[in-house]
Amino acid sequence: MNLAHKSTTICLLILFALTASADERKNILLICIDDLRPELNCFGLDYIHSPNIDQLAASGRAFYNHYVNAPTCGASRYTLLTGQYNLNSPQNNRLLFNRASKLKEEPSSVSPSLPAWFRKNGYTTVSIGKVSHHPGGLGGKNWDDPNVVEMPNSWDLSLQPIGDWQHPRGVMHALAEGKIWGLGEILSVFEAFAGDDQSYPDGWITETAIKQINKLDATGSPFFMAVGFIRPHLPFGAPKKYLDLYDECELPAIAHPYKPKHPSSWQSSGEFMRYNRWSRNPISDPAFADDVRRHYAACVSYVDAQVGLLMDQLDRLGMRENTIVVLWGDHGWHLGEHGVWGKHTLFEESLRSPLIISYKDIPKSGEPCEAVVESIDIFPTLCDISGIPIPEYIHGKTLKLQLDNPESLGHSAVGFQSHRKTIRTKNHRLILHNNGYAELYDFSNAKDAGINRAQDFPNIVLQLTEQLNERLKLNK
């Protein structure tokens, strides 16, 4: 063989190896669910009908002690999608838009986002529904201005089907028959409409996602697809067939249902109270509280059905074995605990949410992990199990150890609001206010979980304060 032929052969072999490597890379399906607390059968709530998410957990790893880094949609999604804490800005729903402005002004000062990093490593990236804060990822008055992009340079395609709801802003707070917030009528806090899954926006999101899965399958290239479902975000509207699942169920008692008497992150449930409640209040009306909880459960079952449709399509196309599936709740939601109906606190109920990671041949599949982990860990974990480099600017830790062995230890989880910050360890949560006031909750005894024990254990407060401050040095 002459030198020219030999060089050509070597080049072809290298090209074949690179192509094969690309074809063998696993796809990513990231499912983001709004306001989903661990109200799932696979997380121990046996009255909940969640067979599809339960099946996903049975084929992967459910993280029972996963905590988000901020108890509001935009700030929580910021940490997921950037892999970084951001304590230098108000913890609100504008964080990703602020990042986009900075990216435009000083491109070199902004690190690539999670989808941008996968895109840089050869993945096609697609977003459908509410992945960043705005469904569809655009800004402007009605969240549909193509000149105002929430996550520039991140997605090859970003979609939000509108259906009967006029625009993406309408989709965010929608009821059946095209009802949206801001048209004069105050929307009801819940409803059960006698219609199919397309009676609400998540049904449309599922249809669009399935079409994109089909298109991506046809390309044969690795993809990173994120699908964001809106329920169980308020208002709690879902097809009636899902509410019917809870007609006869007995609901568990609400844990520590009273407003704390000490300073805390308690909030007055303003988001919930602005809806039409027929002059009823779940705080003082136990029967109405149960109605609200049943409608929340119906929304969970509705979204569970959408997850099932996505999984069925992966199976139908033979893609499931080559796809890493992540299901993530963007934060929890109080259903009366601490006298709150909503999120926006630093209590356990606002910060704990489901995390499930599933892929072929995961060791000890179906065994849950009780290690404390946090949302900021998802970025490096996906890099690690996909075989692409973990960028140096990431603040989280890969969960590969916990995926290989569910009994592996975790680490503390931190969270923050503008006026306070928190750290969660295996047994304790410390909430430290900017004025120095401390709350300490002990989870080693369920009866004490809602009681502030800071004065009883000053040494633990000091120890956790030091840990918290050390962890948050990463933000600098």
- To which residue do tokens 């997380």 refer? 43
Is pLDDT of 17 > 50?
no
Is pLDDT of 19 > 80?
no
In this predicted structure, what is the pLDDT of residue 70?
96
Average pLDDT, the chain: 93
Is pLDDT of 446 > 90?
no
d(CA 41, CA 232): 16
In this predicted structure, what is the pLDDT of residue 476?
57
Is pLDDT of 338 > 70?
yes
In this predicted structure, what is the pLDDT of residue 447?
80
- Say what the pTM is: 0.94
Q: What is the rounded average pLDDT of the residues 386-397?
A: 96
Q: What is the rounded average pLDDT of the residues 444-465?
A: 92
| Strand-pair partners of 225 | 29, 126
Q: What is the rounded average pLDDT of the residues 15-26?
A: 55
Q: What is the rounded average pLDDT of the residues 363-384?
A: 98
Distance, C-alpha 452 to centroid of its chain: 28
Is pLDDT of 348 > 50?
yes
In this predicted structure, what is the pLDDT of residue 12?
41
In this predicted structure, what is the pLDDT of residue 474?
74
* Region(s) of the chain under CATH 3.40.720.10: 25-411
In this predicted structure, what is the pLDDT of residue 475?
67
Query: What is the spatial order of strands in the sheet that 27-33 belongs to?
Result: 157-159, 124-129, 223-229, 27-33, 323-329, 355-358, 60-67, 369-374
What is the tens place of the pLDDT at every residue in 222-256? 999 999 999 999 999 999 999 999 998 999 999 99
d(CA 207, CA 460): 50
Q: Which residues form the catalytic set?
A: 73, 133
Tell the CATH superfamily of the 25-411 domain.
Alkaline Phosphatase, subunit A (3.40.720.10)
Is pLDDT of 11 > 50?
no
What is the tens place of the pLDDT at every residue in 407-429? 999 999 999 998 999 999 999 99
Q: What is the rounded average pLDDT of the residues 66-93?
A: 91
Residue 458 CB neighbours (<10 A): 11
pLDDT band at 285 (very low <50, low <70, confident <90, very high): very high
